[in-house]
Structure 1
Amino acid sequence: MNILITGGTGFIGRWIVKRLLQDKNQVWVLDNLANSSITNINEFRENPNFKEFIQGDIKDEELLSNIFKLNKFDICYHLAASINVQDSIDDPKTTFENDTIGTFNVLEQCRKYHVKVVFMSTCMVYDLASNQAGISEIDSLKPASPYAGAKIAAENMVLSYYYAYDLPVVVVRPFNTYGPFQKTGGEGGVVAIFINNKLDGKPQRIYGDGAQTRDLLYVEDCANFVVTAGYSDKANGHIINAGTGRDISINKLALLISNDSSAIQHVPHIHPQSEIQKLLCNYSKAQDLLNWEPKVSLEEGVKKTEEWIKSIKTTHKEDEGL
């Protein structure tokens, strides 16, 4: 198939590119590189099925129009977005314009050319898990940040095109995804940040009391889920979760990674109002509709991620001649 990935140089996007190329699809990537690097997809550039990288923004309607006009896409995996919760609280306008208006622009082109849309949403749209079965797709939403609000608005626009125009769409809500190629700084995920701190001999700084929990999904499991949702006609018109069905407190995660309780420091939360205390995924719908389930355990995923971060640090030192 001919497939467009917006946000394709990002952390999850580059793994989706990899899987799509493995499946012999023709792949185009659109990204403005605001929160990612072209180096994330360098290994794919010589693949004959990697058709083009386009540096551009989903807010640029003329650019989108030209891309869709020139290429007959079958699916658009739409990942381009502002993804930082704290940034959305400090600057809600940018997040709204990127995540909601940008999504509308993509939808309009997909409607014009009848291209299936796989919309990357987030578990941050949910209220906390209230039982041990975890959060399902019919559980309560709580837009506790402008990021979550913008994603919910975009989700509703995506689904409206399914009902109003019979456009094939699917909304995917992966839980907290981690793994190789995730940033290790402030914009990265908690696993990458903790591993980087451990390797640098820095303390593990935890917001609040650290009792908040996360359901941590390894990035290759996430990418396989997202790609499969695009391939499946049964997914059309649905919202689908992906996670592991296991949550871990941030305190226990820090201990798992650093193996040193003295390294843990608790600091005041910057935006406590946006914190979700318990995130636990019920992914039974993904099992039923897509025959999908996670394959990588947290312990194995942390090990793989640490090996990757170590390799990056080694390469960086070699480049600097250290």
Structure 2
Amino acid sequence: MKVLVAGGAGFIGSHIGDLLIENGYEIVIVDNLSTGKEKFINKKAIFYKKDITDDDLYEIFRKEKPDYVIHQAAQIDVQKSIDNSVFDAKVNVLGTVNILECCRKSGVKKIIYASSAAVYGNPEYLPIDEGHKINPISSYGISKHTAEHYFEVYSQLYDLKYTILRYANVYGIRQDPKGEGGVISIFTDKMLKGERPVIFGDGNQTRDFVYVKDVAKANLLALERGDNEVVNVSTNKPTSINELVDMMNKIMNTSLEPIYTEPRKGDIMHSYLDNKKALDVLGWKPEYSLEDGLRETIEYYRGRYVGLKLL
């Protein structure tokens, strides 16, 4: 079976590619390398440098004839989406429609889509399940949810199966603190240099941190399960940013006090996602605790810096 991974040179997509190859799939990677890195691409994968919004994207589908598509390519910076909503919509909405058209024309059996907890907005209750009201508070949340509707329509019109995975806060190896930069990658970069982490707000805001290898496993399982379902991919556990810093200080054997600054526009105070449906529909649950994931992530980056050892 052949799988095309859009955004497969990126942080999450490259882990998905590795796992698919480990499980015997043929892999085609499509990535424009705007945030992804060619060095992350598995040597056994076929690679095309291509933007998902390009008119000639279909030529890759026509040539490679993938059985499945995993769509990880996106503009994922919340602040950038607020500053430039047109670009955000072009990539996340029009780029997705372009992929769906390619799937329709080339006879793809199923597509897996990376959506986001951002579609829910400020939660009305916790944990947030898939039936929660959709109320995004950023252009990014709007674009990710808008794209979801197209999967439903293409399924009804063309019998194209899909699974939509709404990710919590994904972290781990290969996340770029200077690029798509999640809070853990940014903190890791700073703290390994001996710099104090910067927290927007008072640090009591909570997030649901899920390790990238667990996310890759959810995508693998979704190839054969969860047809036409929307599924949260999360730990179902809230962690405050202050707790996160404390845990990272402990792992690094440091005592760096955070710097607190003004909250950012579009940020949510508390968020964590219910993951019961993932177990029921995909047979998936996270295998990494936050501490285990942090240790593996910090160990990966530690080689860049001198004089720090893990406990």
Q: How does 1:207-226 map to 2 (within 5 A)?
A: 207-226=200-219
Larger helix percent: 1
Supply the distance in 2 between the matched residues of 1:17 and 1:249 (Cα, whole angstroms). 31
How far the C-alpha of 1:256 sits from its partner, in A, is 1.5
For structure 1, which segment, 182-191 or 288-297, has the greater mean C-alpha deviation from structure 2 after superposition?
182-191
Supply the distance in 1 between the matched residues of 2:151 and 2:133 (Cα, whole angstroms). 19
Contact 2:15/2:213 (8 A) holds in 1? yes
How far the C-alpha of 1:261 sits from its partner, in A, is 6.6
Contact 2:88/2:140 (8 A) holds in 1? yes
1:91 partnered with 2:102: no
Contact 1:4/1:27 (8 A) holds in 2? yes
Query: Identical aligned pairs, as a percentage?
Result: 34
Once the two structures are superposed, what CA deviation does each residue of 1:31-80 show, in whole Å capped at 9, x if it has no partner? 00001211112xx21x3xx2x11001011121x11111112211000111
Contact 2:192/2:305 (8 A) holds in 1? no
Residue equivalent to 2:122: 128
SS at match of 2:3: strand
SS at match of 2:145: helix
Once the two structures are superposed, what CA deviation does each residue of 1:15-35 show, in whole Å capped at 9, x if it has no partner? 000010001111000000001
Instruction: Tell me how large the CA RMSD over aligned residues is.
Output: 1.5
How far the C-alpha of 1:220 sits from its partner, in A, is 0.4
Which runs of structure 1 show a deviation greater than 6 angstroms over 4 or more consecutive aligned residues?
none
Supply the distance in 1 between the matched residues of 2:143 and 2:121 (Cα, whole angstroms). 15
SS at match of 1:263: coil
SS at match of 2:223: helix
Once the two structures are superposed, what CA deviation does each residue of 1:90-149 show, in whole Å capped at 9, x if it has no partner? 1111110000000000001111223111111111111334445x1111101122111111
Contact 1:195/1:258 (8 A) holds in 2? no
Contact 2:81/2:138 (8 A) holds in 1? yes
Q: How does 1:185-200 map to 2 (within 5 A)?
A: 185=178, 187-200=180-193
Supply the distance in 1 between the matched residues of 2:70 and 2:37 (Cα, whole angstroms). 18
SS at match of 2:79: helix
How far the C-alpha of 1:252 sits from its partner, in A, is 1.3
Contact 2:163/2:227 (8 A) holds in 1? yes
Q: How does 1:164-179 map to 2 (within 5 A)?
A: 164-179=157-172
Residue equivalent to 1:19: 19
Among 237, 247, 250, the residue aligned to 1:246: 237
Supply the distance in 1 between the matched residues of 2:173 and 2:153 (Cα, whole angstroms). 35
Supply the distance in 1 between the matched residues of 2:185 and 2:214 (Cα, whole angstroms). 17
1:180 partnered with 2:173: yes
Among 291, 296, 308, the residue aligned to 2:288: 296
**Counterpart of 1:107 in structure 2: which amino acid?**
L
Among 107, 113, 123, the residue aligned to 1:114: 107
Among 38, 46, 50, the residue aligned to 1:56: 50
Contact 2:122/2:137 (8 A) holds in 1? no
Are residues 9 and 70 of structure 1, via their aligned partners in 2, closer, same or farther at CA, if it must alter by over 3 Å?
same
Supply the distance in 2 between the matched residues of 1:276 and 1:84 (Cα, whole angstroms). 14
Are residues 262 and 30 of structure 1, via their aligned partners in 2, closer, same or farther at CA, if it must alter by over 3 Å?
closer
Residue equivalent to 1:265: 259
Contact 1:186/1:193 (8 A) holds in 2? no
How far the C-alpha of 1:312 sits from its partner, in A, is 4.2
For structure 1, which segment, 26-35 or 262-271, has the greater mean C-alpha deviation from structure 2 after superposition?
262-271
Residue equivalent to 1:320: none
Contact 2:194/2:256 (8 A) holds in 1? no
Gaps of 5+ in 1: 315-322
Residue equivalent to 1:66: 59
Residue equivalent to 2:309: none
Supply the distance in 2 between the matched residues of 1:122 and 1:300 (Cα, whole angstroms). 23
SS at match of 1:162: helix
Gaps of 5+ in 2: 307-311
Aligned length: 302
SS at match of 1:119: strand
